[in-house]
């Protein structure tokens, strides 16, 4: 009897391959835990909905996600964009979905090679081709437990969609912008540090006011925002320390 396979996302070479390997259902719609429990394998590729713990618990095996970054770097949104802007490792990863965002154990991952004249669009297409090739080549080994998952190591990086807004000025030709032009100059990095520090100074004042009112529970979320901003500053200073531009 063929495995019942649920493919979450738009049709691709991956779904064409899975259609040969089992009894395939393809959907881009929101799925229920009850529906998840009816399948032997669930593959997520470009699926726009977050699968919660109840979905994960309902699955018979790990739900596999195809992510176009070299995890733990560039979890979340726009992984290709951030790999160039922050000069982090570039590649693709097949991993298990857990309660975090792109934090699950890794089954297999590879670095991706790029040409010097790549654009955001061409590098994105190259990543898609790579992740699809990687899955097609290794799915049977994953299915037959010849490839086992390993926990991610290191802190890596994470981004929300809104994080890209302050860097949109780098997209001089939209997604056809050459990736070599996405690197910020020294002065641009310093400007970003200044913006984050300015915002963080207000956060410090807010938390002091709350603290003086003796309300520690209210202070905690503000402290979380401060820690987030400090993390942004650390990444920007790392870029500045390793930047080759002299502007």
pLDDT tens-digit readout, 196-228? 777 777 877 787 787 767 778 887 887 788 778
- DSSP one-letter code for 162: G
Whether 223 and 149 map to the same domain: the answer is no
Whether 220 and 152 map to the same domain: the answer is no
In a domain, 196, yes or no: yes
Q: Both tokens of residue 49?
A: 């909905």
Domain that holds residue 84: 3-160
How big, in percent rounded to 5, are the helix, strand and coil portions of the chain? 50, 15, 35
In a domain, 91, yes or no: yes
Whether 14 and 76 map to the same domain: the answer is yes
Cβ neighbours of 143 (radius 10 Å): 17
> Residue 93 forms beta bridges with which residues?
67, 109
Backbone φ, ψ for residue 105 (5° rounding): -60, 145
Whether 155 and 199 map to the same domain: the answer is no
pLDDT score for 100: 94
The model carries a pTM of 0.77
In a domain, 151, yes or no: yes
pLDDT score for 245: 57
pLDDT tens-digit readout, 111-155? 999 998 999 999 999 999 999 999 999 999 999 999 999 999 988
- DSSP one-letter code for 181: G
Whether 102 and 211 map to the same domain: the answer is no
């Amino acid at each position: 009897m063929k495995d019942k396979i649920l493919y979450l996302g738009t049709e691709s070479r991956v779904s064409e391959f899975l259609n040969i390997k089992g009894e395939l259902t393809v959907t881009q719609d929101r799925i229920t835990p009850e529906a998840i429990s009816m399948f032997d394998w669930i593959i997520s590729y470009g699926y726009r909905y977050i699968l919660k713990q109840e979905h994960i618990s309902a699955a018979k095996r790990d739900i596999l996600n195809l992510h176009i970054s070299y995890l733990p770097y560039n979890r979340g949104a726009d992984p290709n964009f951030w790999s160039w802007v922050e000069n982090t490792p570039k590649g693709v990863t097949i991993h298990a979905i857990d309660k975090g965002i792109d934090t699950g154990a890794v089954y297999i991952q590879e670095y991706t090679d790029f040409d010097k004249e790549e654009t955001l669009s061409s590098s994105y297409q190259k990543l898609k081709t790579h992740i699809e090739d990687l899955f097609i080549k290794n799915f049977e080994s994953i299915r037959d437990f010849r490839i086992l998952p390993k926990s991610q190591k290191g802190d890596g990086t994470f981004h929300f969609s809104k994080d890209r807004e302050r860097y949109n000025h780098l997209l001089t030709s939209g997604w056809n912008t050459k990736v070599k032009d996405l690197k910020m100059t020294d002065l641009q990095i310093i400007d970003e540090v200044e913006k984050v520090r300015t915002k963080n100074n207000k956060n410090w004042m807010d938390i002091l006011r709350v603290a003086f009112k003796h309300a520690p529970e209210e202070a905690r979320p503000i402290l979380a925002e401060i820690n987030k901003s400090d993390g942004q500053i650390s990444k920007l200073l790392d870029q500045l320390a390793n930047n080759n531009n002299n502007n």
